[in-house]
Every structure is written in structure tokens, then in C-alpha cells.
Amino acid sequence: MSEDKWSKSILISGGIVFFVTILIYFIGCRNIIKVPMVLLSLLFIILAEVVTFLITAKTKKDVLRSSVITALSLYLLSTIVLALVFVNILMVFLTLYIIINIVLMGITGIALIILNNFADRVNESNNRTLAAEGIMIECESRIQSYMNNNEYSEHKEELNKIYENIKYSDISSECDMEGSLLQKIEGISENKEKLPEYLKEISFLIKERNIKVKSMKKGSI
């Protein structure tokens, strides 16, 4: 489902729920305006519904969506349960009811902020990994172009080893060395006079990157 269709379907569902809520209240309690607890419970439930459906509709990040829906659903459900309990059993405790709802809103807000920060970190990490993967593919392509260039035929064996090392490197992680490696490979054409030594430096840089990636993965386990 596209993002626009997702948002529209959520907002339409929210509108239906909003209408049903008001209908149930006015059918169930004719003097709703004259009973503060009932009126407040209606306002808090409507507020919870509006927050739930609006934020859900605007949540675009896939990594965040299910968690946000869970948090907001719990908030809405808690608001409804509170309304049922206080309206039917604890009607005289108006101030307590207001305080509990405010605390509940605060907790939900904090939870959403934490979830959003977590999603941002995950997306940032994914974007860095994708960028690193693109750089490594570019490195592989550049080395292959040198291999196919007759000007570097004397060094084809060394270039092939570098190509194989890059090809079978782990590109599912990034370690901030990919840019340096690409820059080093781009400098091959400018270091023809000392190319054997320069290619050894590239091979060493690839090995260093592989070691660093493995070390990072072991540390994250």
C-alpha cells in the first residue's frame, strides 16, 4: 500500500471511529453536557482518537510504524478503560481522573519521542551502510576498468587480487574507510611510476578495512 493510500485509509477509519464515539455518548447519556465526568471522558477519548489516528497516518518510517501503532493503541485503550471506570464507578473523583489522563498523555508522548529517536538512528545507520556499499561497488568497478586497460597489463595479477579482495569483502557494514579506499583507487593513474608499491598499499587498506569490519561485528554481538 502506498503512503498516500495508507494515510487516507487511517484518516477515514479515524473519522468513522470519531463519529461512532460521539453517537454512543449522546445515545447513552442525554444530559452529557450537564455531567462533568461524562463530558470530560468524551473529550479525553476524542483527543486520544485524534492523536492516535493523526500520528499513525503521518508516520512514514516503516521501522517506526508498528511500534507507534502499538503505543498509540495502548494509549487509546487506556483512555477508554479509564473513562468506563470513572464514569460508572468513580464519578466523584474528577480531579484524579484529569491527573491520570494528563500523566497518560505525558507517558505516551515520551514513548513516541524515544521511538522516533530510535527510528532516526536506525535509518541513519542504514543510509550509511547503503552509502558504504555503493562506494565498495564503485571501487570494484574502478579496479575492473584498470584490469581491462592494456596500459596496466603488467600489473594485471596484482589488480586481479585487489579486485577479488574487494569483491568478497563484507559490504553489509561500514567502518568509515570506504571513502579513503575509493580515493586511493582513483589515484592509481597518478602513481604509475611506483605502481607496485601503490597497489600493495591498496591491498593493505582493504585488509585493514576487513579486519575493522569483523572487529565491529564481534563487538556488536
pLDDT at residue number 99: 93
| Segment 162-217, tens digit of pLDDT | 888 888 888 777 778 888 888 988 888 888 788 888 889 999 988 988 888 888 76
Pairwise pLDDT comparison (80 vs 172), residue with the higher score: 80
Question: Does the pLDDT at position 50 exceed 70?
Answer: yes
Average pLDDT, stretch 86-104? 87
pLDDT at residue 66 above 90?
A: no
**Can you give the pLDDT at residue 214?**
83
- For cell 569483491, the residue is 167
Query: Would the pLDDT of 15 be above 80?
Result: yes
Q: What does the pLDDT read at residue 3?
A: 65
Which pLDDT score, from 0 to 100, does residue 83 have? 87
Taking the alpha carbons of 173, 174, 177, 182 in that order, is the dihedral positive or negative? positive
- The alpha-helical segments, DSSP class H, found in 148-194 are 156-167, 178-186
Q: What is the pLDDT of residue 102?
A: 93
Buried b (16+ CB within 10 A) or exposed e, 109-118: eebbeebeee
pLDDT at 96: 92
pLDDT of 67: 82
What percentage of the chain has pLDDT greater than the value 70?
Answer: 92
User: What letter would DSSP give residue 171?
Assistant: -
Residue 220 has pLDDT above 70, yes or no: no
Q: How confident is the model at residue 103 (pLDDT cuts 50, 70, 90)?
A: very high
Across residues 157-166, what is the average pLDDT? Answer: 88
Long-range contacts, 189-196 (Cβ 8 Å, 24+): 195/152, 195/155, 196/155, 196/158
Q: Above pLDDT 90, what percent of the chain?
A: 5
Q: 3-state class of 172 per DSSP?
A: coil
- Reported as a pLDDT band with limits 50, 70 and 90, residue 219 is low
Predicted pLDDT of residue 62: 66
Q: Where are the alpha helices (DSSP H) in the chain?
A: 3-28, 36-58, 62-88, 94-147, 156-167, 178-186, 195-220
Question: Is residue 148's pLDDT more than 70?
Answer: yes
Contact predicate 173/129, CB 8 Å? yes
What average pLDDT does the chain have? Answer: 83
